[in-house]
Structure 1
């Protein structure tokens, strides 16, 4: 999933106004890349480690879901607040705080004695990522201008995709050689280098406006998403909705409705101005993003899990099995971006998700015997081609769907929606992650079909809701 997220996030940098010229722009670029890479690496490497974590800590399917979602939940709910905090208190200050928190949380995860402690550490990692991600991108956007900005964002996106791609491979090797705790320790030297560069070379530009922070909106969104995720996780783990899960689902819906009411009352100070949703294209783009990235999030959790548990892959081999997807996306997305610039985003954002759907249907051959080359690789390649057709047009379409004054919050919200899709999808995988043998294969095939249907629905959103462009 993280391999496609750099393209989804890059609109945040594009939407930031350029500040006065700064010294050491290359070192500033290196700082933003290192900070963002923490989130990209950790978002992908943990998926490869789930089988080892489950065996070592005795974690059931629900706990494994929360080890993933403990990170995604605060990142989804607090991403917009992290950007607003940078605007108010200084992007350098909030970035450094986020990187420091991420490093400490990584140490916490590496030393966790049980699954509950590990989930708590993952939550702290998610909070740190919500602080560092939008501010690293905002610093990047404010440092460069014109063609230099385009090149810098391209380098940032390429390195982010590479980090997301190489993370499972390196993490798998560390799991096989040292143990799963080592995959959290690789964050520490990266964070220390980012802290050193950030403290030395980043400088804040005072913001006389000092925008207010929508703490009430952030709290309601976090509680609502947490309740909804908890209810879905419990329901998926028990193959039914018991009273506790039902209460959690209802509370989640109530808090999210309250969030919308509060945002409506906050007007221009809202974390999420509801005026954005007056654009039909903006609504369609975010529905498409939620469905497509939700399907992709389920893929990145389940495929390595099935390959390790059913087909006997090592963690390194499972990480390498996913490598074709980010490689193809990185190589082909720029070409698709140029094509979309000529023909408009509607056709690529219709055909791309439909191709992804075909890849998910091909994935139903994984786990039922056969070699990697005849089962896993064809599915990965088809999904990658479809994602490459969609990710670049999606970034430009989000910016074009709203007024210029709202591009920053619109792009940040779209990034949060992408992660929320993975959050909800992972919450529904509890029973699959708890299964073994033939039941695991069967559950995975059902999940792949559901992901294919969701991807096809995303394509229909692109066809029906996006406006035609010359």
Structure 2
């Protein structure tokens, strides 16, 4: 397949269109975290509602993203990419118009369908279009620019939320998506392997989609109903059975959508394990950092968004350099050091308790954000180029789909599990201060019920003999304890990612079948 130079006219159009469309999906993730308090207030949403609004999108995305990558390889990457963008834009428009929690959650599902077709196509388009010697640099460029837009999302989201315009977080996708579609239509050629297997593995696609959806749903139900409820353990068990069935189908099938021989390459397998652990820590860490700043530390939503600027600057300044460095020296050392540094940043953030608000940012949150950003800046581009470089171009869409699926699954699992843990940690932290109050067991339970709203917990109106402001302070201190423990677990996941690189990542050439 003919490839082009990164700095050629065709190469630039490929990069710009890939960056624009990818940015839509990433903006939604980071900006939405920041506007959650405004969204919660506007729609009268509970803490559980917030997690469903976040995870409805991620559930569908995780379920279908492997299919999206495979379809791009088989039917044409530009074609599937453009279809995904169109669906994503339509879903975003509907989200912006949604009048309540239920419809917003439903329209997030449509966004997930579009994202599943769109996200794998971005990296697959780059990997199959740009010269092999420049792919690390190209992916580093993609990482830097998408991160710039992504981390600009909290700033934009904070400004819009403070102005009461949180819905525009969804509407902003419309002009971006239309611009990307026009570029792809007019300036980018179709990328399709002429010798690729055109057969669609429908049985495998249905099995993996249902399996991932059930496992994700099971984890999402645990915070609400507990692990012992049939909806939780039944969904998890059936999902695992379907995933085992999928593996057997792919092993025996003549036209598998996910060739299992890809995982015989230890570097490919290790990079995907690293992705799972690191992004689980990243997703939970950033979510709870945003909630903590706005709901307990006194930051406005705009100020919360601005706190991520050091992260953005680190990514812009280092990601492209890190990608080029991985091309020259190999990714191993970068993929050991980067996640370890990122984990250390999350650990530093866990030590921040009640602060004096935004005026104390530089001595509280800033050091952790800086170290965290440094670690991610040295990780993202080498990790992505390692995954894409471990397979032949024929399977670039499938490889991207696998890696992106693990990223999204990691975030969904982290949100679901850590959401449940946060409520448990929060309630446990309240036990001692509530025991010191002269209230009945029933009143204590009423106070504890509010922990499901996390940092937005408010004193029950029925508790009149306890000063409301004193109870709010107890809630704030309790949620800060829960936040600290979540960040420590997130840091541990970063360190686990570094260990995966130690054990599995090697500086080796791609393996072709």
Same fold by TM-score greater than 0.5: yes
- For the 8 Å contact 1:17–1:141, the answer to whether it is kept is no
Q: In structure 2, what is the equivalent of residue 11 of structure 1?
A: none
Distance 1:446 1:225 in 2: 28
Q: In structure 1, what is the equivalent of residue 367 of structure 2?
A: 378
> SS state of the match for residue 231, structure 1?
helix
- For the 8 Å contact 2:10–2:188, the answer to whether it is kept is no
Q: In structure 2, what is the equivalent of residue 217 of structure 1?
A: 204
Taking the TM superposition and a 5 Å limit, the aligned residue runs for 1:450-461 are: 450-461=489-500
- For the 8 Å contact 2:140–2:321, the answer to whether it is kept is no
Correspondent of 1:122 among 108, 115, 134: 108
Distance 2:134 2:507 in 1: 31
Distance 2:138 2:386 in 1: 20
Greater radius of gyration (CA): 2
Correspondent of 1:248 among 215, 235, 254: 235
**By how many angstroms is 1:170 displaced?**
0.9
Answer yes or no: is 1:447 the counterpart of 2:486.
Answer: yes
Answer yes or no: is 1:163 the counterpart of 2:152.
Answer: no
CA-to-partner distance for each residue in 1:417-465, whole Å, 9 max, x for gaps? 2222112111223343732323322221121111111111222222123
**By how many angstroms is 1:396 displaced?**
3.8
Distance 2:352 2:182 in 1: 44
**By how many angstroms is 1:328 displaced?**
0.8
Distance 1:199 1:280 in 2: 38
Taking the TM superposition and a 5 Å limit, the aligned residue runs for 1:117-156 are: 117-145=103-131, 153-156=139-142
Cα distance, 1:175–1:17 mapped onto 2, change above 3 Å: farther
Taking the TM superposition and a 5 Å limit, the aligned residue runs for 1:51-62 are: 51-62=37-48
- For the 8 Å contact 1:357–1:455, the answer to whether it is kept is yes
Taking the TM superposition and a 5 Å limit, the aligned residue runs for 1:387-466 are: 387-399=376-388, 401-402=390-391, 406-431=395-420, 432=422, 434-436=453-455, 437-466=476-505
CA-to-partner distance for each residue in 1:241-260, whole Å, 9 max, x for gaps? 43321212212222222221
Answer yes or no: is 1:106 the counterpart of 2:92.
Answer: yes
**By how many angstroms is 1:203 displaced?**
4.4
Correspondent of 1:315 among 301, 310, 315: 301
Taking the TM superposition and a 5 Å limit, the aligned residue runs for 1:17-416 are: 18=3, 26-145=12-131, 153-204=139-190, 209=196, 211-237=198-224, 241-267=228-254, 269-341=255-327, 343-370=329-356, 371-399=360-388, 401-402=390-391, 406-416=395-405
Cα distance, 1:279–1:84 mapped onto 2, change above 3 Å: closer
Cα distance, 1:82–1:222 mapped onto 2, change above 3 Å: same
Cα distance, 1:290–1:151 mapped onto 2, change above 3 Å: closer
Q: TM-score by structure 2 length?
A: 0.80
Which region of structure 1 is more displaced relative to structure 2, 291-300 or 323-332?
323-332
Q: TM-score by structure 1 length?
A: 0.87
**By how many angstroms is 1:180 displaced?**
1.7
Cα distance, 1:375–1:295 mapped onto 2, change above 3 Å: same
Cα distance, 1:330–1:237 mapped onto 2, change above 3 Å: farther
> SS state of the match for residue 372, structure 1?
helix
Unaligned runs of 5+ in 1: 1-15
Cα distance, 1:203–1:338 mapped onto 2, change above 3 Å: closer
Cα distance, 1:315–1:467 mapped onto 2, change above 3 Å: same
- For the 8 Å contact 1:226–1:252, the answer to whether it is kept is yes
CA-to-partner distance for each residue in 1:63-108, whole Å, 9 max, x for gaps? 2122222222232332232233234443343233222211111111
> SS state of the match for residue 373, structure 1?
helix
> SS state of the match for residue 321, structure 2?
helix
Unaligned runs of 5+ in 2: 423-451, 456-475
Cα distance, 1:213–1:434 mapped onto 2, change above 3 Å: farther
Q: Paired residues, what number?
A: 454
- For the 8 Å contact 2:92–2:173, the answer to whether it is kept is yes
- For the 8 Å contact 2:5–2:134, the answer to whether it is kept is no
Distance 2:129 2:324 in 1: 25
- For the 8 Å contact 2:274–2:501, the answer to whether it is kept is yes
Distance 1:347 1:180 in 2: 41
Cα distance, 1:350–1:135 mapped onto 2, change above 3 Å: closer
Cα distance, 1:287–1:146 mapped onto 2, change above 3 Å: closer
**By how many angstroms is 1:343 displaced?**
4.8
Q: In structure 2, what is the equivalent of residue 6 of structure 1?
A: none
CA-to-partner distance for each residue in 1:160-187, whole Å, 9 max, x for gaps? 1211011111121111113221211111
Cα distance, 1:119–1:23 mapped onto 2, change above 3 Å: same
Q: In structure 2, what is the equivalent of residue 4 of structure 1?
A: none
Cα distance, 1:172–1:218 mapped onto 2, change above 3 Å: farther
CA-to-partner distance for each residue in 1:394-424, whole Å, 9 max, x for gaps? 2343345456655553343223222221121
**By how many angstroms is 1:152 displaced?**
5.5
